[in-house]
Amino acid sequence: MSNGNGAGNGKLRIATAWLGGCSGCHMSFLDLDEFLVDLAGMADLVFGPLTDTKAFPPDVDITLVEGAVTNEDNRELAFALRENTRVVVSFGDCAVTGNVTALRNLLGEPEPMLQRVYVEHPDLDGQLPSEVVPALLPMAEPLHELIPIDAYMPGCPPSAERIKTTITALAQALIDGEPVPKATEWLFPDEARFG
């Protein structure tokens, strides 16, 4: 739990992040209904679309990351949250597989897609967005292609029940000081020679 930088109130520090996704996973998170009250008793929500924090804070216990990595901004946030989080959860199908966000990969590089969306299809003044919005990466990729992930929560969106189960298990492990239930390791035993 928080050691120094946190609020020091003994509560877990939980964050959420919204990368290239539709925010449906966050909506499902809000569907937790009264469990949100229990959760608030056990943890502080320190970052995410539901708070007004600008920079990713240090010393976070659990971060739920929604969305695929699709632009420069996503990438920076992904690195930052990995840097500062104990348990990163790939939250929902876009983060886990790329899902709908990655459908643009079928068109290859981003340019043809941008051309189609912003130039060919608008009725008036089609032009490519260039300023203010972060540049797209060549491919929209699942989160684990970029940073190591500790747990996966598939679903489009994952049901509130599934979110509750996951958070409860992870939080309990952290509170008890147990090893976090990790995503299954699946290399063969004799392949552990990399150490």
Segment interacting with other proteins, rule: CB under 8 A, options 25-33, 45-53, 117-125, 186-194: 186-194
When asked if residue 2 is in the footprint of other proteins (CB under 8 A), the reply is no
Indicate left, alpha or beta for 29 from its phi (over 0: left) and psi (-120 to 50: alpha). Answer: alpha
Q: What is the DSSP string of 71-83?
A: EHHHHHHHHHHHH
Closer to other proteins at the Cβ: 32 or 80? 80
When asked if residue 45 is in the footprint of other proteins (CB under 8 A), the reply is no
Rg of the chain, C-alpha, whole Å: 18
Q: Which of 16, 28, 74, 85 binds other proteins (CB under 8 A)?
A: 85
Q: Which of 6, 48, 57, 142 binds other proteins (CB under 8 A)?
A: 142
User: Position 19: which residue type?
Assistant: L
Side-chain half-sphere exposure of 56, counting CA atoms within 13 A: 25
> Comparing C-alpha atoms, which of 34, 69, 43, 54 is closest to residue 149?
69
Closer to other proteins at the Cβ: 42 or 80? 80
Binding string, residues 56-75; x marks residues near other proteins by CB under 8 A: --xx----------------
Residue 121, exposed/middle/buried by CB under 10 A (0-12, 13-18, 19+)?
exposed
Interface ranges with other proteins (CB under 8 A) = 58-59, 79-80, 82-87, 90, 93, 96-100, 102-103, 105-106, 142, 144, 147, 149-150, 152, 154, 156, 179-180, 182-189, 191-192, 194
